[in-house]
Structure 1
Amino acid sequence: MTLEAVRAMIDKAMQRNSTNGDESHSSGGGPTRPVQSIRHDVAYAMTWETLKKKMTDKYCPKGEIKKLEIELWNLKVNGNDVGSYNQRFQELALICTKFVSDENEKVDKYIGGLPDNIHGNVMSARPKTLDEAIQLANDLMD
């Protein structure tokens, strides 16, 4: 996902969440509640890790993260559907940052979920990145 795409998503969400269309976050009726917001330039200056942590803290309860970590722990290729495995693994790896905190852990966990017929070949190639491991698995399944 590009920086421009992230910025567009942030802008769209901020506009959608503005009930008046003027970023006032107030419908004009009833009691108001304080809304903590930051300026666009501050939001755009955040690193990906900072933004991801803020979003996870706000929108992902600890119990849900634990469920996703368990799903990642048990994730395996279903039949020969490496494509679905790749997609779900990458989604879970983005969210479960404590479970797979560095690239080596991601690679090891990814290889562990591959089917027996390609597991050994990918492991013996000793991929250094998740992208390399995914490419090897895809090539071997073709």
Structure 2
Amino acid sequence: MAGRSTRSNSADDTNPSNETADEVARQLNTALPNLLTKLVQALKGNRVNQREAIPSCSIKTFRASGAKELFGIEGAVGLLTCCYSPVLGRFKKVADRRICPDDEIEKLESEFWNHKMVGSDIDGYTARFHKLARLVPHMVTPVSQRVNHYIRGLAPEIKAHVTSSKPATIQGTVGMANRLTTD
């Protein structure tokens, strides 16, 4: 078996390993900028795709989701109900159609339609209004319909003032009714 010699050939003036290293360095210097540019473009493209895939959460989208309000005194059950309410809301729509009898839905609709403010109990009226609105959401689906129905149930002295201000949101309507009642 012939062994390999580790001695370099003295007749050859150039070192092949240096030529190879120089050639690799030249190729890397040429290829790396193109590779880096492609990598950066791919990463930017992924960020754009990720932004489109993950919906942003703002206070407006959160409030529109119909999540329950949590005041901190409800305990663990209240927290879980608050956290899972959008999911439960979708389930509830399906379950209501299958479980709740039509005559019960009609009773709730009638109660909601005839709901009026008694005396100056604005807090009681507002709380019951929101509970009934959750039970029959099809009656208050557009925001304008919810606002109009809330105003319709107010006491006559307050109704005229709130109607003249033409509030656009239910929060503005409730706030104005509260201010007028407490003043």
TM-score scaled to structure 1, two decimals?
0.65
Say whether residues 1:80 and 2:152 are aligned partners. Answer: no
- Structure possessing the higher relative contact order (Cα contacts under 8 Å, 6 or more residues apart): 1
Structure 1 segments of 4+ aligned residues over 4 angstroms from their partners = 2-7, 46-49
Q: Which is further off, 55-64 or 94-103?
A: 55-64
Q: Which has the larger radius of gyration?
A: 2
Change (3 A) 1:130 1:5: farther
Change (3 A) 1:6 1:60: farther
Which of residues 147, 150, 161 is equivalent to 1:121? 161
Change (3 A) 1:50 1:76: same
Residue matched to 1:70: 110
Equivalent pairs counted in the alignment come to: 108
Change (3 A) 1:99 1:135: same
Residue matched to 2:180: 140
Structure 2, unpaired ranges of 5+: 1-67, 71-75
Which of residues 132, 141, 153 is equivalent to 1:101? 141
- Within 2, Cα distance between the matches of 1:86 and 1:47? 25
Q: Secondary structure in 2 aligned to 1:110?
A: helix
Residue matched to 1:54: 94
More helix per residue: 2
Note the C-alpha offset of 1:95. Answer: 1.1
Note the C-alpha offset of 1:9. Answer: 4.1
Report 1:21-60 matches (<5 A). Answer: 47=87, 49-60=89-100
Note the C-alpha offset of 1:106. Answer: 0.7
Structure 1, unpaired ranges of 5+: 11-43
TM-score scaled to structure 2, two decimals?
0.52
Note the C-alpha offset of 1:98. Answer: 1.9
Q: Secondary structure in 2 aligned to 1:98?
A: helix
- Within 2, Cα distance between the matches of 1:52 and 1:138? 31
The amino acid of 1:72's aligned partner reads F
The amino acid of 2:80's aligned partner reads A
Change (3 A) 1:7 1:136: closer
Change (3 A) 1:133 1:57: same
